[in-house]
Amino acid sequence: MTNKTKKPNPLHTLCRKAFEEFYLEKFRTEYYFKGIDGKRLNDIISALKFKIGDKQYTEERFVALFKVFIEGCYELSQNDRSFPRLKDDYNLNLINYYFNGLFTKIRSRAEQKKARYSKFGQGVSDDTAESEEFKDVI
Provide the pLDDT for residue 138.
41
Q: Could you read off the pLDDT of 71-129 as tens digits, one per residue?
A: 999 999 999 888 989 988 999 999 999 999 999 999 988 888 777 766 655 555 544 45
Q: Is 109 in contact with 79 (CB distance < 8 Å)?
A: no
Residues 88, 103, 54, 118, CA torsion sign:
negative
Residue 88 lies in a domain: yes
Residue 4 lies in a domain: no
Residue 56 lies in a domain: yes
Q: Cβ of 71: how many Cβ atoms within 10 Å?
A: 16
Nearest to 69 by CA among 81, 52, 89: 52
Q: Which domain holds residue 61?
A: 10-134
Residue 97 lies in a domain: yes
Residue 25 lies in a domain: yes
Q: Is 15 in contact with 60 (CB distance < 8 Å)?
A: no
Residue 55 lies in a domain: yes
- How many domains in the chain? 1
Residue 5 lies in a domain: no
Question: CA–CA separation, 37 vs 30, rounded Å?
Answer: 14
Residue 1 lies in a domain: no
**pTM for this model (two decimals):** 0.81
